[in-house]
């Protein structure tokens, strides 16, 4: 049974984790934020021509976040971030370019090593656009 948080995004995909054995059920406060987060993801999906998005990481409990080496202040722990790919639209770089060029509100947009897109919401809504590369870490702007 699937619990839909919005027309295209489910609670299950927003809380899935490879970290079996670790509790990744969101508390009520996080669930409320997840519902707001998927509404933004719906806007992203529309921006991407309604191409299906694959969520690779949504909510992370503090234990899961530690296990995957996430930032200690990660927006994933607040239910205000999603990592995803959208192969039918294009590469993570192409997705980032489309989001950066739109008027969507976000805090951080990160193109992660050509492998996935991190979209962080809430906080200061900085509209910060970054690229992450192994060894080089975070750099401002999008890189080819
Ligand atoms: Zn992320």
CATH number at residue 46: 3.30.1380.10
Stated pTM of the model? 0.96
User: What pLDDT does 72 receive?
Assistant: 95
User: What pLDDT does 75 receive?
Assistant: 97
Cα-to-centroid distance, 120 and ligand 1 (Å): 7
Cα-to-centroid distance, 71 and ligand 1 (Å): 9
User: What pLDDT does 1 receive?
Assistant: 87
Cα-to-centroid distance, 22 and ligand 1 (Å): 18
CA angle (63 as vertex; 37, 29 as ends), nearest 5: 35
Q: Token pair of 73, please?
A: 């202040």
DSSP state of 53: -
Cα-to-centroid distance, 80 and ligand 1 (Å): 10
Cα-to-centroid distance, 131 and ligand 1 (Å): 12
Evaluate whether residue 82 is within a structural domain.
yes
Cα–Cα distance, 71 to 88 (Å, whole number): 29
pLDDT classification of 47: cutoffs 50, 70, 90: very high
Nearest to 45 by CA among 93, 1, 6: 6
Evaluate whether residue 97 is within a structural domain.
yes
Cα–Cα distance, 96 to 114 (Å, whole number): 10
- How many structural domains compose the chain? 1
User: What pLDDT does 144 receive?
Assistant: 80
Evaluate whether residue 3 is within a structural domain.
no
Evaluate whether residue 1 is within a structural domain.
no
Evaluate whether residue 60 is within a structural domain.
yes
56-85 pLDDT tens trace: 999 999 999 999 999 999 999 999 999 999
Tell me the residue range of the domain where 105 lies. 11-140
86-143 pLDDT tens trace: 999 999 999 999 999 999 999 999 999 999 999 999 989 999 999 999 999 999 999 9
User: What pLDDT does 43 receive?
Assistant: 98
Cα-to-centroid distance, 119 and ligand 1 (Å): 7
């Amino acid at each position: 049974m699937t619990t839909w948080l919005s027309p295209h995004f489910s609670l299950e995909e927003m809380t899935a984790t490879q970290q079996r054995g670790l509790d990744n059920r969101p508390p009520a406060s996080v669930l409320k934020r997840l519902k707001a987060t998927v509404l933004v993801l719906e806007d992203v999906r529309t921006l991407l021509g309604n191409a299906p998005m694959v969520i690779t990481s949504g909510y992370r409990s503090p234990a899961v976040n530690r296990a995957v080496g996430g930032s200690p202040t990660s927006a994933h722990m607040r239910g205000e971030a999603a990592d995803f790919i959208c192969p039918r639209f294009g590469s993570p770089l192409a997705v980032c370019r489309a989001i950066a060029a739109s008027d969507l509100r976000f805090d951080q947009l990160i193109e992660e090593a050509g492998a996935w897109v991190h979209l962080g919401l809430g906080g200061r809504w900085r509209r910060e656009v970054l690229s992450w590369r192994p060894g080089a870490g975070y750099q401002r702007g999008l890189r080819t």
